[in-house]
Amino acid sequence: MSRGSSGEKRSRFPLSIFWIVLSVLLITAGVHVAILLGMEKAGWAPIVQTHIMVLYWISVSVLLTLLIRSRMKVAYDTPLQEISEATKKVAHGDFSVRIAPLHEEGKEDYLDTMIRDLNAMITELGSIETLKTDFVSNVSHEIKTPLAVIQNYSSLLNAENLPEHERKEYAVAISAAAIRLNTLITNVLRLSRLENQQIRPKSEQFDLGGQLTDCLLGFENIWEEKEIEIEPDIEDDVIITSDRELLSIVWNNLLSNAFKFTEEGGTVSVSLRTEDKNAVVSVKDTGCGMPPETVRHVFDKFYQGDTSHSIQGNGLGLALVKRIVDIVGGEIRVESEPGEGSTFIVKLTGASKKN
């Protein structure tokens, strides 16, 4: 019997059926002869014999037709009707349907393979739909919070005889909420463009160490304010061929997290090394660290493990980082322990040393 690429049986009507039908026909022909001989021996009238043989062959034909019909029903009608019902439900948005396999493992045929693939497709479609719904509700939720702040404080600003310090306080709150909204929308747009492949990574040569130092310096205010110690260990003259703009989003997000999740007086270390033709960048902090559950989800959209910090940010930073690292063909991993700090390690290809 021929088998498909995954080892399943190729035919629901194997060649053995032909032999079975042939044998049945030969046996019935044999019975025909035996009945005839019996009737001859008994001396039955020819007209009776003819009627009996006609009745015999009508019965044989009816039985054979019913047998083939029931076999076709089991082999095709029932499973195809079930598949048709399931696809109809999926078309109407019900992704909970699953079609039961027809045979146990090891005895599958191509219809079982088709059913398995259909089930996988329905699961996949269901998770995409959930992601889409979650994404829309997450974005709406994240937009509502700063909007509520803006609404509240702007109505407070309307009050007469408002003391100057309160007016300033409300204005600062409104401005912070507007910045939060702006960051959220920028990140959502970036992520959506990256996911829809509208951004093709550019390929240019630049000094990776220089870029890391520039990004680090962008956080000077924060590290001075929080008295965080900086430990840079950046190899000189590392040239990378990649997308400068996209990589700067990566470093800024990793550094922003390191400074955000590190308490006053902590340390943030940034290192750059080359290994063969790879550049390895690590951003390490002595901050709050993460439990394994958070580590598992850090790259998910809108995931924020540490809810006490959730007021700062929307949980999109690392989702963007992961997408960019994937697009530029790199790898990212996290090492973290609660209370022990976190290290994000990014490996990029296309690195060389300037001569």
Ligand X SMILES: Nc1ncnc2c1ncn2[C@@H]1O[C@H](COP(=O)(O)OP(=O)(O)OP(=O)(O)O)[C@@H](O)[C@H]1O
Q: Which residues bind Mg ion (CB under 5 A)?
A: 257, 313, 317
Query: Is residue 288 involved in binding ligand X (CB under 6 A)?
Result: yes
Contact characters 240-279, ligand X, x per CB under 6 A: -------------x---xx--x------------------
In a 3-state reduction of DSSP, which class is residue 64?
helix
Q: Applying CB under 6 A, which of residues 305, 323, 332, 346 lies at the interface with ligand X? A: 305
Q: Applying CB under 6 A, which of residues 304, 325, 332, 348 lies at the interface with ligand X? A: 304
If the CB atoms of residues 209 and 289 are measured against ligand X, the closer one turns out to be 289
Query: Is residue 330 involved in binding ligand X (CB under 6 A)?
Result: no
The helix (H) or strand (E) run that includes residue 204 is strand 204-207
What is the closest distance, in whole angstroms, from the C-beta atom of residue 348 to ligand X in the complex?
19
Supply angle C-alpha 95, 99, 102, rounded to 5.
170
Q: Which of ligand X, Mg ion, none is residue 315 near (CB under 5 to 8 Å by kind)?
A: ligand X
Q: Are 173 and 163 in contact (CB under 8 A)?
A: no
Query: Is residue 135 involved in binding ligand X (CB under 6 A)?
Result: no
- Buried residues in 249-267 as b, exposed as e (16+ CB within 10 A): bbbbbbbbbbbbbbeeebb
If the CB atoms of residues 266 and 313 are measured against Mg ion, the closer one turns out to be 313
> How far apart are the C-alpha atoms of 70 and 78, rounded to whole Å?
10
- Position closest to Mg ion via CB: 317
Q: Are 35 and 41 in contact (CB under 8 A)?
A: no
What is the closest distance, in whole angstroms, from the C-beta atom of residue 305 to ligand X in the complex?
3
The helix (H) or strand (E) run that includes residue 230 is strand 229-234
CA distances from 341 to 232, 234, 266, 298 (A): 17, 20, 10, 14
- Contacting positions for ligand X (CB under 6 A): 253, 257-258, 261, 285, 287-290, 294, 298, 303-306, 313-319, 342
